[in-house]
Amino acid sequence: MTIFFGKARMIIFISIVAIIGLAMVVTPVDAKGKTYKWKISQGIAEDHPAAARCKQYAKLVEEKSGGRMKMTYFPSGALGDWMEQIEANRMGTLEFGLNAGSTSYDPRTNLIFMPYLFATWDEARAAIGSEGWLPEIFDELYSTIGLKVLGIYLNAWDGMAFTKRVKDVCKTPSDFKGIKMRVPPIRIFEVYIPALGFISTPIAYSETFTALQTGIVDARSACPAVEAYVMRDALNYWVATRDAFEYWFLTMNKELYDSLPPEDQKILTTAADKVMIDQAIAAEKDETEFKNKLKAAGVNVYEITQEEWEASAKVVRKEAWPKIQEELLGSILMGKIKNYATKISD
């Protein structure tokens, strides 16, 4: 009996040692967490700052996760154009994407191009940053199409570019009447550009340069300084109208995001905050740089005053916003917009 109990104690002792040893092996793995290998891409030109931001995000996530989360960056076009990448992102074949927003899935996403919503860089950064009011709205909208919005990428203010056929410098609605203006084939532009007095002509981006050269249109809207520089040979001057702000989205497949533990989700969102903050600062510098390049190339650049901005904002808010609400955004979303929009004088 004594021998039995001695052997039993020995077996128990060995078992305990084995369990402790196993725990020593397993625990670090558990603490380390699951490893991931993902893809990230953007569908714009490879020399665009979006490429560098994708790489920055991949590096930062890998660092914050201790090497558990690795992303392979695929250059522009390798995984299709930006629309194809958005679809792949929705389906989960592309885990992460940094692309312009699409209005194809939900008319409410026309909010991306909401005209005369805010007037300054500081207001844009406050609205779009991680602590702003827009990310939550877009995250909700994009969740319905299978995407998680990790961050909003500030690109640039839209301006308006004019050819030599427009002799006078045009800054306010009283100047705009009768000018043939190219607009993107996106409904919200087709609503508010005519409200300003222009003759609106929807033309795809790829055909815009030729349309400006041949006189199909006299000017183009939805034109950040960088795009004006690209089309500088067809232009006479560019006005920083600030009628809309162009921003893109760093998105992740929502089903994949929801499957992650909270601590891994936090790694992804905090890294996104850092990258988007860096971009929000850099974007203003980039715009200044391209304004200077325009001037050096012989394209005149004109700023507008707050009074001139408000002259256009009053017209658009009165004539176009009701149509935008009825056709695209709906009353609930429009109510939020009106609550946060830059206040203008009566």
Going edge to edge, which strands form the sheet with 245-253? 69-74, 36-41, 96-100, 245-253, 147-157
pLDDT of 14 above 60: no
Q: How far apart are CA 14 and CA 40, in angstroms?
A: 49
DSSP assignment of 245-287, as one string? EEEEEEEEEHHHHHHS-HHHHHHHHHHHHHHHHHHHHHHHHHH
| Domain assignments of the chain as residue spans, ordered by start | 35-155+246-288, 159-244+296-340
Nearest to 182 by CA among 227, 117, 226: 227
Once rounded to an integer, what is the mean pLDDT over residues 243-260?
Answer: 96
Query: Which parts of 155-301 fold into alpha helices (H)?
Result: 173-176, 187-195, 205-214, 225-230, 254-259, 262-296
Segment holding 40, helix H or strand E = strand 36-41
pLDDT at 102: 87
For residues 225 and 238, is the Cβ–Cβ distance under 8 A?
Answer: yes
pLDDT of 12 above 60: no
Kindly report the length of the chain: 346
Q: Do domains 35-155+246-288 and 159-244+296-340 have the same CATH topology?
A: yes
Range with top average pLDDT, 89-93, 132-136, 341-345? 89-93
pLDDT of 146 above 90: yes
Q: How far apart are CA 174 and CA 198, in angstroms?
A: 10
Lowest-pLDDT range, 64-78, 119-133, 145-159, 168-182? Answer: 119-133
For residues 145 and 106, is the Cβ–Cβ distance under 8 A?
Answer: yes
How many Cβ atoms from other residues are within 10 Å of residue 15's Cβ? 10
Q: How far apart are CA 98 and CA 248, in angstroms?
A: 7
169-210 tens-digit pLDDT: 999 999 999 999 999 999 999 999 999 999 999 999 889 999
76-100 tens-digit pLDDT: 889 998 889 999 999 999 999 999 8
User: In terms of DSSP bridges, do strands 69-74 and 36-41 run parallel, antiparallel, or are they unpaired?
Assistant: parallel
pLDDT at 23: 39
pLDDT at 32: 61
Residue % of the chain over a pLDDT of 90: 80
| pTM for the full predicted model | 0.83
For residues 227 and 287, is the Cβ–Cβ distance under 8 A?
Answer: no
Crossing angle (nearest 10°) for helices 187-195 and 306-319 = 110
CATH architecture designation of domain 35-155+246-288: 3-Layer(aba) Sandwich (3.40)
How many Cβ atoms from other residues are within 10 Å of residue 151's Cβ? 28
CATH topology for the 159-244+296-340 domain: D-Maltodextrin-Binding Protein; domain 2 (3.40.190)
Q: Is 195 helix (H, G, I), strand (E, B) or coil?
A: helix
- CA 231 from centroid of its chain's CA atoms: 23
Upper half-sphere CA count for residue 204 (Cβ side, 13 Å): 2
Q: How far is CA 137 from CA 127, 171, 252, in A?
A: 11, 32, 16
Whole-number mean pLDDT of the chain? 90
Once rounded to an integer, what is the mean pLDDT over residues 125-154?
Answer: 92
Q: How far apart are CA 35 and CA 264, in angstroms?
A: 10
318-336 tens-digit pLDDT: 999 999 999 999 999 999 9
Q: Is 96 helix (H, G, I), strand (E, B) or coil?
A: strand
